[in-house]
Amino acid sequence: MTFPEPQSTPEGLRYEGRLLAHQDEEVVDQGLRFDVTTLLSRRSVLAMFGIGAASLGLAACSSGSTASARAAAAGEIPEETAGPYPGDGSNGVNVLQDTGIVRSDIRPSIDGGATAEGVPMTLTLQITDQAQDRPFEGVAVYVWQCDRDGGYSMYSEGLENVTYLRGVQVADADGKVAFTSIFPACYSGRWPHIHFEVYPDLASITDSANAIATSQVALPEEICSAVYRRSDYPESSRNLAGVSLENDNVFGDDGGELQMATVSGDESSGYEVGLAVLVDTRTEAGGGGSAPGGGGSAPGGGSGPGGGSAPGGAPGSAPRGAGGEGDPDGAPPEAPDGSGATR
């Protein structure tokens, strides 16, 4: 049997431009998510040249059903901690009660104040209802992330009255939501990521207990490395060098296999980040769950409003009974300045 041959690069072995997660294994042994992504990539190339999907036995697949098939093959999105800075009312402040939170461009603050600067990024999540095996039209998806300095709005020192990089969208007929944002930083101890919660509908978002899924998007190392070479992401390159998917306290159990985004674009024109998300409403949401061991120290300091904790300050309790993104007992590691905060 002839196996596909990877290409040797300075960063390691690659196949079709993607770094192999398991460098010692054959291309065919990289895991199901790698295989599905390869199949979808090839289908896209065929479409560019006008080759019908029917010739591949895929004639029945629309954009929505493609996402459903991909998510079904990959498995249900893992339930993860929301971290100490969710802004959903579970740890102090609740931005989901603010008029204007439903928006696609999350770079500005809701009130038109401070705007997050950084490498442009569009995040598209395609939500599939596993119970019905179809796009999850009508669910509300809340997304939040850190800025290029690793700070979280509403919690970090100097950002207590800022609401950027938080927003809600309602899934369309294909189960899609899209957000215009910036590429997030890498802060000490955590792999670069984006948080999200899925709610049954828009009316249910004001109470975090209504979330039917809480998870995180992982970002590919090669893309992160390219972004973090920029001077406006001053600490991220060093922080990325100190972490790995295998030792991350959220993605470490499976290397983020079901949460690793597909990314296209470049740092000058911006990146298109996407993830297929399978939600099974027949299983009970873990309410954020406690993360396994490890944890990252967040930059900055100060206290967020409403009892929330700021990066670098004394951490608040993790939301919904979660142990947070720190040690197994819920106690986060100490930050360099003597204060502990993980997210």
Tens digit of each residue's pLDDT (9 = 90 or more) over 120-132: 999 999 999 999 9
Strand-pair partners of 164: none
pLDDT above 60 (res 52): no
Amino acid identity for residue 286 in this structure: G
Neighbours of 11 (CB within 10 A): 10
Look at residue 288 and give its three-state secondary structure: coil
Provide the pLDDT for residue 68. Answer: 42
CA dihedral 294, 296, 302, 304 (to 10 degrees): -80
What separation in angstroms does the CA of 328 have from each of 205, 292, 322, 323?
29, 5, 10, 7
Alpha-helix residue ranges (DSSP H) falling in the chain: 32-48, 63-74, 221-228, 236-241
* CATH tag, 73-313: 2.60.130.10
40-68: b or e for each residue (b if 16 or more CB lie within 10 Å)?
beebeeeeeeeeeeeeeeeeebeebbbbb
The whole-number pLDDT of residue 10 equals 62
Residue 202 vs residues 119, 139, 233, 323: alpha-carbon distances, Å: 29, 7, 34, 28
CA 168 to chain centre: 14
Given this model, what pLDDT does residue 303 score? 41
**Are the C-beta atoms of 277 and 263 separated by less than 8 Å?**
no
Determine the angle formed by the axes of helices 32-48 and 63-74, rounding to 10 degrees: 160
Give the per-residue pLDDT at 299. Answer: 55
pTM here?
A: 0.70
Mean pLDDT (whole number) for 201-229: 98
CATH 2.60.130.10 placement within the chain = 73-313
